[in-house]
Structure 1
């Protein structure tokens, strides 16, 4: 199965830290506005998911969503969630940790694209 989203070890470590402090968490890929385009981490259920949000998968046991309009644009890439030093979005849980989540991406290969079409997401 081809993963649409995955996380680096550093991101998984930070997710575990946030889960220890806040309980279950969830992610939504921000599409701009106040916090730019970055993965936003919230306590599970704090960010309301709508019928225009697409569940890409999970990282560290946490669901990762993206708005359909962004998904249509990024559907040819795998999102790789990483962590860098610095302050991120003011609404995202990791902000006080001196770290921020960062989305990297890579295009899917032809074989992966074909497999994704069979997966229907």
Structure 2
């Protein structure tokens, strides 16, 4: 499995940095965000290091759909699937991506703003 030295999320996948794990599959890992923006705020990442969602779409056959499937499962298990939730991929510096390892934010549990930003 490809990892990037010094990558925070690669280190979480490797078990070097603790995280509150919500779900894990052979290709993905879901864990709680340490700075939640909603009552439910879970990150879903590929276990392999890919910098952003565009890289996953191009280089990870089937991985993007696996990430989205896990987002849905997280929403169901966290109890926000029926009331509504948001899945966000930030990509690049101007897109607000702080950790350069692809990750989806699953947000829910309260009324989310109509506009982002």
TM-score interval w.r.t. the shorter chain?
A: under 0.3
TM-score normalised to the size of structure 1? 0.27
Relative to total residues, which structure has the larger strand share, 1 or 2? 1
Relative to total residues, which structure has the larger helix share, 1 or 2? 1
TM-score normalised to the size of structure 2? 0.28
